[in-house]
Amino acid sequence: MQFLVAESETPDEREARRESAGKSSGETYAATLAQMRPDATITIVAPADADPLPLTADEIAAYNAVFITGSPLHVYDDTPEVRRQIAFMRAVFDSGVPSFGSCAGLQLAVVAAGGRVRKMADRLEAGIARRIVATETGRTHPLLAGRPTVWDAPGIHGDEVEALPADADLLASNAVTRVQAAEIRHHGSVFWGVQYHPELAIGEIAAALRRQAPSLVDSGLANDIDEVETLAERLDRLHRAPDDRAARWLLGVDDQFAREDRRRTEIGNFLANLALLRRNEENDMAKTLTASFDTRREAEMTIERLVQDHGFDRNDIFVVAEGDENSAGLEVAGSDNESAQPSPETRDDAALEGRIKVSVDIEDDDRAETVRAAFAEFDAEQVAAN
């Protein structure tokens, strides 16, 4: 896999962040991605810089995914740095490569696709973005798969999305900022973005608060620098010991914020769906693996293995009768039964007669290997790719 990380900072801002947090925003993203996908090759670029020349859409198309970082820049400012960033994001959309962005990365994609961003009036969101809630669309969107009804996330920003582009879906909001998560479809490409920071370690949040302490006091979020430092120290404590119950209680957070894997939920979901999001001009249809089973039970066990253990969507799995004498099981069974309504031990209807064919959509080699392993575990026959 080839990943392109675009850090949305100027050289001075990158150096300031290294001094306080140890890494630039792009280096943080690269480190996070390297942990999550150690097999990936990661390239960092800085679109805000005047040199070197920005990548073209054709050059970006060589990558599997693009990640857009946060930044102190304001995308509504008409400066050369901002114009170069917007031009880069438009090239990403033109490339057909799926992209993901957080904070200013979301805002940049919004403006590049025709939406609007504004300064937040008389408020900031700093440290912890509280009580984020998925919209009706977001509750079933793969970007937020695994998130509970309400969650907290790392967040620090003074700008927000005012209006999403035409081809976009609002996926999550909270009381501070209406657009906390969104999908944008533009020029054949798909962007998933969040206003918060799933890529950040908790210690990096503490460092960001210390960098911006004067503005937090000016905004009224803290009475003085000492109060900002107290919050930063509590975050540092949780960073060192994520299971520290007292540290969690003092901050009012749970696993969604304290555990690294939970904080990174949206990035993990994006990586898991890359093949589906990628526009493939040679073959727009996902490939399918098909297998035949002697019994319905074997087919059901295979499906449950894929869904429960490997996170496959049931909508990507299809069950049909191999012969026309078999109904392939029109009656509910297995995990589809209502609670306290177990499947009968014996059945004599057509659902148990004849062979069952199971087909699973696949988009990449890893997914195909997982499906083949599940087929083999439950004695599938006639395995074929279509």
Given pLDDT bands bounded at 50, 70 and 90, which one contains residue 334? very low
Q: pLDDT over 90 for what percent of the chain?
A: 61
Q: Is the pLDDT of residue 94 over 70?
A: yes
Q: Could you say which of 27, 103, 157, 186 is catalytic? A: 103
Q: Is the pLDDT of residue 344 over 50?
A: no
Picking from 128-137, 206-215, 343-352, 367-376, which range would have the lowest pLDDT averaged per residue? 343-352
What pLDDT, on the 0 to 100 scale, is given for residue 249?
97
Considering the entire predicted model, what is its pTM?
Answer: 0.72
Q: pLDDT over 70 for what percent of the chain?
A: 88
What pLDDT, on the 0 to 100 scale, is given for residue 330?
42
What pLDDT, on the 0 to 100 scale, is given for residue 357?
86
Given pLDDT bands bounded at 50, 70 and 90, which one contains residue 323? low
What pLDDT, on the 0 to 100 scale, is given for residue 212?
87
What pLDDT, on the 0 to 100 scale, is given for residue 353?
54
What pLDDT, on the 0 to 100 scale, is given for residue 267?
95
Q: Are 380 and 302 in contact (CB under 8 A)?
A: yes
Given pLDDT bands bounded at 50, 70 and 90, which one contains residue 191? very high
Q: Is the pLDDT of residue 142 over 50?
A: yes
Given pLDDT bands bounded at 50, 70 and 90, which one contains residue 302? very high
Given pLDDT bands bounded at 50, 70 and 90, which one contains residue 16? confident
**Scanning the structure block, which residue is given the tokens 């993990």?**
268
Given pLDDT bands bounded at 50, 70 and 90, which one contains residue 20? confident
Mean pLDDT of 117-131: 90
Q: Are 118 and 77 in contact (CB under 8 A)?
A: no
Mean pLDDT of 345-362: 64
Q: Quick: pLDDT tens for 240-249.
A: 999 999 999 9
What pLDDT, on the 0 to 100 scale, is given for residue 373?
87
What pLDDT, on the 0 to 100 scale, is given for residue 386?
63
Q: Could you say which of 141, 157, 186, 197 is catalytic? A: 197
What pLDDT, on the 0 to 100 scale, is given for residue 188?
84
Taking all residues of the chain, what is their mean pLDDT, rounded to a whole number?
A: 87
Q: Could you say which of 9, 183, 199, 300 is catalytic? A: 199
Could you list the beta-strand ranges (E) of the chain: 2-6, 41-45, 65-68, 99-102, 116-119, 125-134, 150-157, 159-163, 168-173, 181-186, 189-194, 287-293, 317-321, 356-362, 381-385
Whether 197 is a known active-site residue: answer: yes
Structure tokens at 208: 């960001």
Q: Is the pLDDT of residue 17 over 80?
A: yes
Mean pLDDT of 277-292: 62
